[in-house]
Every structure is written in structure tokens, then in C-alpha cells.
Amino acid sequence: MAADRAERALVERWRDMLATHARTQCELDRVLSGHGLCASDFEVLDVLAEGVAPDGGCAYRVQEVSERVHLSQSALSRLIGRLEKDGLVERAMCPEDRRGVRVVLTAKGRAVHGEVLPVHRAVLARMLSG
């Protein structure tokens, strides 16, 4: 009986987390759409804006970005393609591994990120406080 209650509480906590995530994601999508972005677009820009890639360079390998934004490789590739088309990021072959692709923010991408960052953080503060 105590195990059943503990299991129910665990499942309820899980469902609460999922609901919070869904509400926050929807609100981010709604607010960021006014800037021509969705939440996933901004997450990629935010990761790239953080600066130094794990190998010390300024550009991230697409696989490194994928691990941080929790998108499949193909979904991320399409998203990066859209961001590249909009002039927010650039892709280039990895000089040390011709099979790899690196992605970096453009000046326009940095400007958009800087403009949208306070909006994004305000939504997080509002949706996740308490």
C-alpha cells in the first residue's frame, strides 16, 4: 500500500513536470513567434551564443548542439537550415573531420539572440517560478 502511494506520487510528479514543460513550451512559442522564432529556434541560438564549444572553438558541431537541445539529428538539421536561410547561422565543414559540420551564429544571429534573450528569460521566470 505504501509502495502504491509512493508510485502514484512519483507518476504524479512526472505528469506535473510534463504539464509544466508543455505549458512553458507553448508560451515560449507564442511569445517568440512575434520575433519570427519558435522555442526550438531560440534554444539553438542560445546554445550557439554561449560561446565556447566543447573543443574550445567558437563553432559547435551539429551533434554537440543536438545533445544540448534534445532534437533528433534530422530535425535539428532542418531547423539549422531554416536559421541559415534567415541569415542567423552559418554552416561549414569541420576542418579536422570532413564528415562533420560546424554551425556558428552570424552577426545577425547574435543581434536577434540579444534582442530576444530578455523576452525568453522573462517567460521562463514567469512560468517556472514556484
Q: What is the pTM of this model?
A: 0.85
Q: H-helix or E-strand containing 104?
A: strand 101-105
How confident is residue 95, by pLDDT bands cut at 50, 70 and 90?
low
Residue 98 scores a pLDDT above 80: no
Amino acid identity, residue 72? Answer: S
pLDDT of residue 97: 63
Q: CA-CA distance, 108 to 41, in Å (whole number)?
A: 14
Amino acid identity, residue 110? Answer: R
Q: CA-CA distance, 127 to 130, in Å (whole number)?
A: 8
Contact by Cβ (8 Å): 103, 80: yes
What is the per-residue pLDDT across 40-81, written as a single tens digit (0 to 9) for each?
999 999 999 986 555 555 678 888 888 889 888 889 999 999
Residue 94 scores a pLDDT above 90: no
How confident is residue 3, by pLDDT bands cut at 50, 70 and 90?
confident
pLDDT of residue 70: 86
DSSP symbols for 47-79 = HHHT---TTSSSSEEHHHHHHHHT--HHHHHHH
Residue with cell 513567434: 33
pLDDT of residue 91: 87
The CATH number of domain 2-128, selected from 1.10.1740.10, 3.30.565.10, 3.40.640.10, 1.10.10.10: 1.10.10.10
Mean pLDDT score across all residues of the chain? 88
Please state the domain extents for the chain: 2-128
